[in-house]
């Protein structure tokens, strides 16, 4: 931006933007603050913002109420597992479509995208029954498979747009210099593909972590990840705001941090390359 802006204008911008930013962020901030209050303080009127007795007791209470870390671990296994499985299937496919495009490549890509448009509820009944008959209800294996399938189109598409940006000339140059297929892949292609694969992985872990249709409908006590565990707080039991806040803070903190690092990939991944 080469336009000159007066200092006062910049200060006005800053003030408005920070005010709005803080309002939008406030529910998250409030949740984190409440997680350090006692239950009594959490509902006191007027509410106290910073000047209360900070305590960690809610975090302990949440773990005691129902093995929190098991659900946390379920979330990790399901989101990371489905992403890695998805990458294992998608990397070769996206690779082939980007480097050896055929007449059908575009159609395949569009068809894959169309599977993403299928509303989950449209296939809820058969999937539920199939899972029941195959003993996959309330298992992490079942959820890994389902989340891999619903995110596979996004993974393929993201990888495809990244691989497309690797110039083919470099491959030809390597081949001219006598590189074998194997050294071509290890020394030329992989280093250039790693950032794209990492970004895709990050975004898909976030999407899988927050998925709240299948995780709620296909799990009970055993395989429930955090989305389903937090939902158990919807039937209140005495004073629970501080405990709800502690459970929520732990559930969103890791993914919020990852999300902040993946802003750019988010745009690319969720618009299927339509906005860059």
Partner 1 sequence: MATQHSKAAARLMIAPAVIVLLLWMIVPLVLTLYFSTLRYNLLMPGGTPFVGMENYQYFFTDPAFTTALVNTLLLVGGVLLITIIGGTLLALLLDQPMFGQGIVRLLVIAPFFVMPTVSALVWKNMFMNPVNGLFAHLARLIGIQPFDFLAVAPLASIILIVAWQWLPFATLILLTAMQSLDSEQIEAAEMDGAGALSRFFYIVVPHLSRAATVVILIQTIFLLSIFAEILVTTAGGPGVASTNLTYLVYIQSLLQFDVGLGSAGGVVAIILANIVAIFLMRMIGKNLDA
Q: Which of residues 177-206 bind partner 1 (CB under 8 A)?
A: 206
Residues 184 and 74: their CA atoms lie apart, in Å, by 38
d(CA 161, CA 63): 42
- Contact segment (CB under 8 A) with partner 1 among 56-64, 84-92, 182-190, 191-199 equals 84-92
List the one residue from 28, 61, 84, 185 that touches partner 1 (CB under 8 A).
Answer: 28
Residue 250 CB-half CA count within 13 A:
25
Answer for which of 66, 67, 106, 195 binds partner 1 (CB under 8 A) is 106
Which range of residues in 64-72, 136-144, 190-198, 228-236 is near partner 1 by CB under 8 A?
228-236
**Residues contacting residue 163 through CB under 8 Å, at least 6 positions apart:** 94, 95, 98, 99, 193, 196
Which two tokens mark 83? 């992403």
The window from 30-38, 57-65, 136-144, 190-198 that contacts partner 1 (CB under 8 A) reads 30-38
Residue 54 has phi, psi (to 5 degrees) of: -65, 135
Q: How far is the CB of 32 from partner 1 (least distance, A)?
A: 11
Cα separations in angstroms, 122 against 21, 139, 141, 142: 37, 22, 22, 18
Cα gap 209→77, rounded to integer Å: 10
Q: Figure out which of the listed residues 1, 50, 176, 220 binds partner 1, where binding follows CB under 8 A.
A: 1
Q: How far is the CB of 159 from partner 1 (least distance, A)?
A: 10
* Separation CA 9–CA 255 (nearest Å): 35
Q: How far is CA 63 from CA 26, 96, 206, 230, in A?
A: 26, 47, 23, 12
82's tokens: 């489905």
For partner 1, which residue of 46, 178, 191, 238 counts as binding (CB under 8 A)? 46
**Residue 87 is encoded by which pair of tokens?**
């990458």
- Pick the piece of the chain touching partner 1 (CB under 8 A) from 56-64, 66-74, 185-193, 243-251: 243-251
* Site mask for partner 1 (CB under 8 A), range 134-173, x = bound: ---------------x--xx--x-----------------
* 129 scored as a contact of partner 1 (CB under 8 A): yes
- Distance separating alpha carbons of residues 233 and 244, to the nearest angstrom: 7
Selected binder of partner 1 within 119, 178, 191, 238 (CB under 8 A): 119
Could you say whether residue 61 binds partner 1 (CB under 8 A)? no
DSSP code for 47: P
Interaction of residue 256 with partner 1, rule CB under 8 A: yes
> Which residue from 142, 223, 259, 265 is in contact with partner 1, where contact means CB under 8 A?
259
Number of residues that bind partner 1 (CB under 8 A): 99
CB closer to partner 1, 6 vs 178: 6
Choose, by CB under 8 A, the member of 62, 97, 144, 202 that binds partner 1.
Answer: 97
**Binding residue (CB under 8 A) for partner 1 from 36, 62, 74, 90:** 90
């Amino acid at each position: 931006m080469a336009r000159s802006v007066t200092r006062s204008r910049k200060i006005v911008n800053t003030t408005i933007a920070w005010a709005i930013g803080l309002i939008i962020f406030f529910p998250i901030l409030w949740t984190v603050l409440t997680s350090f209050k006692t239950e009594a303080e959490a509902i006191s009127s007027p509410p106290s913002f910073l000047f209360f007795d900070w305590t960690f007791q809610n975090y302990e209470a949440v773990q005691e109420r129902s093995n929190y870390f098991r659900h946390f671990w379920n979330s990790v296994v399901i989101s990371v597992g489905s992403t890695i499985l998805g990458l294992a299937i998608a990397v070769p496919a996206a690779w082939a479509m980007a480097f050896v495009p055929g007449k059908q490549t575009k159609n395949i890509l569009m068809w894959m995208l169309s599977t993403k448009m299928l509303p989950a509820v449209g296939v809820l009944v058969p999937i539920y029954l199939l899972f029941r008959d195959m003993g996959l209800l309330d298992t992490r294996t079942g959820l890994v498979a389902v989340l891999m399938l619903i995110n596979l189109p996004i993974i393929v598409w993201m990888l495809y747009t990244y691989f497309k940006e690797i110039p083919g000339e470099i491959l030809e140059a390597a081949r001219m210099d006598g590189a074998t297929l194997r050294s071509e892949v290890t020394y030329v292609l992989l280093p250039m593909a790693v950032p794209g694969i990492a970004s895709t992985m990050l975004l898909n872990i976030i999407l899988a972590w927050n998925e709240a249709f299948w995780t709620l409908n296909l799990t009970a006590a055993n395989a429930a990840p955090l989305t389903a565990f937090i939902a158990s707080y919807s039937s209140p039991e005495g004073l629970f705001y501080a405990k709800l806040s502690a459970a929520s803070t732990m559930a969103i903190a890791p993914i919020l941090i990852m999300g902040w690092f993946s802003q750019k990939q988010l745009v690319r991944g969720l618009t299927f390359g339509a906005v860059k």
